[in-house]
A and B are shown apart, each in its own frame.
Chain A
C-alpha cells in the first residue's frame, strides 16, 4: 500500500513560442530622456539586425502563469527528501536568498573602487577564514565557479608546483570509485589518467597504490569518505606513500558533509582540495547550478593560487595582483560572489558547534537508513559508513528488477530517486545520502517506501519495472532523443533538427 503519493498537477502548458502573438508585450521601459538615435546611421546598415525571428511575444500574465505552471512539474528539496548520494541535497535557507539580494551586495560592480567595495571584500575574507578553519588547510581561493572548476584549478596548482620543482610529471591516479569529473579534469589539465582499483572493502588498495606511485605520478585524486560512504582508514598512509615520491594528494570535497567539525583534510595529509558550496554549504542547486568550488591548499601551493588574492593592508581590504607565480585566472572577476554570500550566511547561522551537530545528524540519518534497509537490500561493503550508504540490486536483480526500476518506482511514493548505478565499483548501485535536513518522520516514510518496493519486486515485479505510474510525465524516450536530437523549438512546417 502506498503511504505517500504527491499527485502532479496535470494541466498542459504550451511553450512560450506557442503562446506568442505579435504585439503582445510584458514590459514597459521608461521614456527616453535623451534623443533617440537612428541605429542604421550610427552602426551601419549591415550591422543592424532584422527582427528576432520566432522570438516570443507574451504578456506579463502569461509569463507568470507559464513559469508557475512549469514549476509545479518539478520535484524540489522544499517538497521532500532527495536521497541522492554525494549530492548533499540539504535545506537551502531562505535568509540566504534575502541577504544575497541586498542592494549594496547585489548591485556591486566588480570594478567599482576598492574603497566602495570593502563590505564585499570583508565577506570574501570572512568566508576564506571559515573554510580554512573547517578544512585545516593554509590558504584558499574562492574563484572557481563549481566543483569541477575547482578540481581543474587544484590540478593546475599541483602542476605549477611540480613544474617549479623541475618536473610536472605525467599521470594522475584515480580510484575506480571516483566521480566522472575527476578523470575528465585530469585530462583537461594535460595529465594521463591511471585507474587505481579499490580493495575488497571498497577502499584504496595500498599495495596497488605503492606499486603505481613513481616519479611520473603527479598526484592521486581521492574522495574521503569515498563514494561508498566509507572513511578511507589508510588515508594518512596513502598520503605518505605519495609524498615519499614527491607526489601530492588531492581530495574531492564532495563528501565533506561527513567531516565538518569531526576531521579536517588538512590534518590527514591532503595537499589540495576543493569544496562544493552547493553541497556541504547549502547554496541552492537551482535545477543544476550555480555552484561554488573553492580550492584550499597547503602552504607550498599558496604562491600559485589564482590571481588576485585578497589581503589586508592596514585597516582596509585590497586585491593583490602582484602574484608572479600564480597559475593565472580561472575565471573573470573574483568568484561566484552571490554564492559566497549564501555559504557564509549558512556558516554564521550554525557556528562551530552547529556545523558539527549538522554533521552528526547527517551521519546518524544515513546509518538509520542502513539499519532500516539492510534486511531487504544487499549491502556489498560492510565497513561502517558515514553520511551515505550504498546498496546493490543483487537480490532484486535475481528477479529481473534493477536499481533503475526501483528508483523509478520510488517516484510513485513521492520521492526523488537515489543515485542509480554509481559508484561503478558496486554493480547495480543504490547510493543514498539523506543529509541532516531530514526528520525522523521523513526518513521513516522513505524506509517504508523502499521496503514496500522490495516486497513489490517479489509479488509484482512488472509493476516496478514499468514505473513510474502516477507522474504527469511517464517514462521518457531517451533513445529517440539521442538518435534524432531536437534541441530547439521550430515553427510548424520547419524541418526538424536532425544529425
Chain B
C-alpha cells in the first residue's frame, strides 16, 4: 500500500528486533473477547485515480454551474488563487499545533498577524487564534460574558442566525444559562429596542446582536449597547458576513465580538470547515477561550512568537478551563489571513462596495420587505418563494432562501444575497421571472 513505507523484509527485521514471531504476536496480549474475528466489511482499497473518479461522480450529483443567490451565513466570494497556493505548502498543511515555538514560527507568525488584523477590523483590543466557526463562537462568547459578569442570563435577538441560536440553546441548557429572545421591528427588520429594554434584568450577563443581521439589516449597535450597559450587561456583537467589515463601522461599543470568517476565501464546502473568531476589549483577556499567540524574544534577543496565556486552556486548567476547545482552525484562519493580505486596506473596502452595489441593484428589482439599511442581503416580499425558485432552477439559478421554516410569520418571504460574484444578467433573469 502506497502510504505504508515498509517492505515485508523490513517488517521481518523489525519483528525479529521485537522478539515477535509474527505481526499477530503484537496483539496476542489482547483479551480474546475484544478481538474482531473477521475482516472489516469495507470495499478493498482503490487507486488514486479511482478515488478521484468516485468524488468527481459525487460532485457531478451536486449543483454545478448554477448562479446562486443564497447567503444566510454562507457566502459566495471569489477566492484569490494565492490562498490555496499558500495553504497547500506542506509546511503549513501538514504541521502540528505550534507548541514547540522554535520550529513553528511560520504558523505562529501568521496567527499573530491574523489576531492583529481581526482587531483592526473589529475595533477590539485582543482576538484569539480562531474558534471552530461562528455558530460555536456564539455560545463561547455568551459563556465568557457569564464568567466576566458573574450573572447567568443571556438575551439574544431573534434576528441572529436561527442555527446559531439553536447552538446557543444546546450549550446554554447545561450551563444553567437562561436564554430569552428579543424580537425584531416588523418595519425596519432591526432589533426591537423597546422589547430589549423590557427584557433586560439585573441577571442579564449579555445581549447578543448580529449585524448585518440574518435579514441583512444593519443594526443600531450603539443603541443596543447603551441599553445593555445601562443595566450592567455586556454587548456581544455577532457577524456572519465578514466582508461587511470592509465598509461598516466597526462595533466599538461592543464588549465581545464573535463571528464567522467563511467569507474570507473559505470554500462554502457544504457547511464546513470554517473559522470563527472571538475578540474582546482588553480587560476581558483572561476570560477568553481558545489559543492566543503572543510576541516575545528568543534567547538571542530576536523577535519570536509563542502560544501564551495557556493557563486558561484545557490542557492545564482541565475542569476549570475557560473552554474545552483544543483545536483552533489554523489552516482555515490562514486562508483568511492570505485573503486579507491580498485584498488589503483598499481591497476590502472596494470588495464591500461592490457587494453593496450588487445587492442594491437586485433589491431594486425585487421588493425588500424591511426598511432598515442593508449590506449584501435583504428579505424580499411578495409571491411564493418556493414557486419562484422552481422557475429559476430551470434557468440554472438558485433563488433566495425561503424563510418560512425559520420565521413562520415571514412565510411569503425569501432571503436574497448578491455578492461581487453575482452577474447582472442573472439578476435581470430573476427580475424577469418575478414579472412573469
Contacts and interface: CB of A to CB of B under 8 A. Distances in A.
B100 interface: yes
A355 interface: yes
Contact of A236 (B34, B52, B96, B218): B34
Contacts of A93: 3
A46 interface: yes
Interface string A147-191: 111011000100100000000000000000001110111111110
A477 B305 CA distance: 9
Contact of A235 (B34, B46, B58, B73): B34
A322 B23 CA distance: 48
A288 B271 contact: no
A289 B328 contact: yes
B174 A332 contact: no
A394 B5 CA distance: 34
A292 B76 CA distance: 23
Interface in B258-308: 267-273, 275, 282, 285, 291-300, 302, 304-306, 308
Interface stretch (A207-215, A243-251, A343-351): A343-351
B58 A119 contact: yes
A482 B286 CA distance: 11
Interface in B128-149: 129-130, 132-136, 143
Interface in A285-315: 285-292, 306
Interface string B1-33: 101111000110111011110010011011101
A485 interface: yes
B106 A330 contact: no
B89 A262 contact: no
B324 interface: yes
B247 to A, nearest CB: 6
B94 interface: yes
Nearest to A233: B31
B13 to A, nearest CB: 7
Interface residues of A, number: 202
Interface string B29-53: 1110111100111111110101110
Interface stretch (B61-69, B193-201, B202-210, B229-237): B61-69
Interface in B236-260: 245-250
Contacts of A104: 58-64
Contacts of B327: 145-148, 278, 288-291
Contacts of A471: 102-103
A355 B1 CA distance: 10
Interface stretch (A67-75, A395-403, A425-433, A453-461): A67-75
* A-B pairs, 4 with minimum CB distance: A286-B331, A333-B271, A104-B59, A78-B90
23 contacts: A15-B113, A47-B249, A53-B120, A63-B342, A70-B110, A73-B91, A107-B76, A113-B389, A136-B36, A148-B314, A183-B318, A187-B319, A262-B35, A286-B95, A289-B327, A336-B273, A338-B269, A437-B4, A440-B10, A440-B14, A487-B308, A488-B115, A488-B126
